[in-house]
Amino acid sequence: MNNVLFWLSFYLLMLAVSIAIGYCKGNMVAGALLGYVLGPVGVILMLLSKNRKMLPCPECGDRIHRHTYICPHCQQKVLNRLQP
């Protein structure tokens, strides 16, 4: 019985982690779905998935928010030049 409880809480933890990663990457629905269906595997998939919020700057390569107008690292205008 204890074993079942352990795995249940483990599974719920994985689901929460997956949703949290999805939230950070701007894709919370995918995080919830993957965590719900795949559990720990979904968490790994979310970790490997592309970050839809943060994109690499075309000038310096640093990860910046996709709605950023000027890159905070190299001061270049990057609006509409970020590729998802």
Nearest to 22 by CA among 57, 2, 61, 49: 49
Per CB under 5 A, which of residues 61..80 are in contact with Zn ion? 71, 73-74
Q: How far is the CB of 63 from Zn ion (least distance, A)?
A: 10
Q: What are phi and psi of 82, to 5 degrees?
A: -85, 130
Of the two residues 9 and 75, which places its CB atom closer to Zn ion in the complex? 75
Selected binder of Zn ion within 11, 59, 68, 82 (CB under 5 A): 59
Q: What is the 3-state secondary structure (H, E, C) of 20-63?
A: HHHHHCCCHHHHHHHHHHHCHHHHHHHHHCCCCCEEECCCCCCE
Residue 55 sits in the site that holds Zn ion (CB under 5 A): no
Per CB under 5 A, which of residues 3..42 are in contact with Zn ion? none
Residues contributing to the site for Zn ion (CB under 5 A): 57, 59-60, 71, 73-74
